[in-house]
Amino acid sequence: MAHDPDDLAGALISLLRGEAVDVRDWQSFRDLAARHGVLGLVYPRIKSDDGKKALFRDYALQASNTMAHMAVLSFLRDNAPGFLPIKGSSLLARGLYHPQERPLLDIDILIRPRDIPVFSEILLRQGFSEVVSRQKGTVVHKGRINVDLHAYPVARELFIPPAKLWDRSDSGFLSPEDELLVIAVHASASSFTFGPRLIWKIDAERILPLVNLRKAFELARAVGLESCLVRFLRARDEEILMGKRNPGRLRKLRLAWRAGANKGERVICIARAGWERVRKNLREGAITWRKRTGSAIRPG
């Protein structure tokens, strides 16, 4: 299929789909690929010598940066209390990406609030410096390596309860359903603040084979985030590439609304989820009663 060499967005999507492309301005293409976090995915698919030359340095630096971050994650696995990697860190640790494919600006890990000082002390002894400490967690860094210690997986107003994430976790990871929900909510909130990125949609595609979608939507519905998950999964690549950052003074209100977590919707969704549980319990109670009595008549 012929492509307009000046259509950078079209070329990016085509490369991700395994199609050959002709690009006139490889420097601008590199900037677009890096902006959307897909430089590591498209570089191996480029056939042009000019294209490879234009992207190689950034590709190699990104791979090196990701491997440095993952080395710190491995160190924490061996030397720190239990934690759950989230977002890109988790997908890499699960083996759903090769290190050269997925950029990491930081390591995101979910830890219990009581363990934040422990993690900070461990990292400070390794030469890290504390950048910021806030209610959501603490950020520490050393050179180009950043570690985000989360007490909450995303902004508190988006209401994904950490305790339940821990209860459903397995083998040091979030459940796949929770992983998908965190990716969706993070993408929705961050798209509003920083602009959308294709890599977040690809993250979802990587975790989806492990996900029970019915269970994922039940979890999302229970905390008022069903519409967030639906919009995220339905987003088209072309729409993401056209999206723009849209900050505003009412950021928190708009952020929560964009993510489908406004109070009104959350109340409705939680009430609906509660009613579904009541109906399920009533059905199960009726079945149990019929089994015990041998009657086909439902209890009144």
208: nearest Cα among 244, 238, 232, 239: 232
Decide: residue 280, CB within 10 A, 0-12 exposed, 13-18 middle, 19+ buried.
exposed
pLDDT, position 251: 42
Give residue 257's pLDDT: 42
DSSP secondary structure string for all residues of 115-126? GHHHHHHHHHHT
Strands of the chain, DSSP E: 84-85, 107-110, 129-134, 137-142, 145-150
Residues 6+ away with beta carbon under 8 Å from 87: 108, 182, 183, 186, 203
CA distances (Å), origin 6, targets 2, 29, 133: 12, 10, 45
Would you state the pLDDT for residue 273?
Answer: 56
Q: What is the pLDDT of residue 298?
A: 42
Rounded Cα gap, residues 56 and 49, in angstroms:
10
Order of strands, edge to edge, in the sheet holding 107-110? 84-85, 107-110, 145-150, 137-142, 129-134
Helix axes of 226-234 and 198-207: crossing angle, nearest 10 degrees = 100
Q: Which amino acid is at 154?
A: V
Backbone φ and ψ for 2, nearest 5 degrees, come out as: -80, 140
| pLDDT tens for each residue of the chain, 300 residues long | 456 677 899 999 999 998 988 899 999 999 999 999 999 999 999 999 999 999 999 999 999 999 999 999 999 999 999 999 999 999 999 999 999 999 998 999 999 989 989 999 999 999 999 877 666 678 888 988 999 999 888 766 566 788 999 999 999 999 999 999 999 988 887 876 677 899 999 999 999 999 999 999 999 988 888 888 888 899 888 888 877 654 443 344 444 444 444 455 555 555 665 666 677 677 776 666 665 655 444 444
- Length of the chain, in residues: 300
CB-based contact 86:179 (threshold 8 Å) = yes
| Token representation of residue 134 | 């806030």
- How far is it, in rounded angstroms, from Cα 299 to Cα 89? 52
Strands 129-134 and 145-150: unpaired
Buried b (16+ CB within 10 A) or exposed e, 241-254: beeeeeeeeeeeeb
Reported pTM: 0.81
Question: What pLDDT does 231 receive?
Answer: 86
Q: What pLDDT shows up at residue 259?
A: 45
